[in-house]
Amino acid sequence: MKGLGAILVAVGIIILIGMIIVTIVCWYGNRVGCKDYLKLAGDAPNVQKANEFLEKALVYMEKRGLTSGNSAFIFRTPSSDVGIWYNQIKGAQQTVANIIGRGDAASQLEKDNVLMKIREVVLDQDEKGTTVTMPPNITIFPFQWLFLLTIVVGVLMIIVGGAILYFCEEWS
């Protein structure tokens, strides 16, 4: 019985370590492929750079299927709607593309207004300062339930295995 307890604890720990590694890899991929480009777009000095950064973020979003769905676990709010978020970014990029397409016919005021619009779409001000607007759990979307279930199973295995080890010691 002690062997079963030890195996459950070991497998539970391996599952949790694996989930930590996978979560870090997903977080890093999202940061490099999307979040940093959105931040750069919000801080862009001109419409050409903003367009370039928004396009790179949109390519990542489309490649990963971040175009529809909801990243919430239970309470599906508009802030966790991936489709709304994607369409906001796409709309900002189309606005920039329209201004660029107008060339010299677009005034500097129009270009500055577009840059401010992009900043409003991709960046938020909160108690931490300026943050990139993203739905919660987007780094693990659309597998947020799988991640949660796997973590719960890992923790339960550790608890059950630990209980088995503890009670085997008591009964010996």
Q: What is the CA radius of gyration of the chain?
A: 23
Task: Tell me, rounded to whole angstroms, the distance of Cα 57 from its chain centroid.
Answer: 12
The rounded distance, in Å, linking the Cα atoms of 25 and 32 is 11
| Angstrom distances, CA of residue 133 to CA of 19, 37, 87 | 25, 12, 13
Number of domains in the chain: 1
Percentage of the residues of the chain whose pLDDT score is greater than 70: 98
Range of 107's domain?
A: 2-67+76-171
Spacing of C-alpha 113 from chain mean position: 28
User: What pLDDT sits at residue 107?
Assistant: 87
- 172 pLDDT tier (thresholds 50, 70, 90): low
Longest CA–CA span in the chain (Å) reads 87
Express each pLDDT in 116-151 by its tens digit: 999 999 999 888 888 999 999 999 999 999 999 999
> Residue 170: its pLDDT value, please?
65
Bridge-partner residues for 25, per DSSP? none
Position 24, amino acid: I
pLDDT digits (tens, 9 = 90+) for 2-42: 788 889 999 999 999 999 999 999 999 999 999 999 999 99
CB 94, CB 85: distance < 8 Å: no
Q: What is the DSSP letter of 66?
A: T
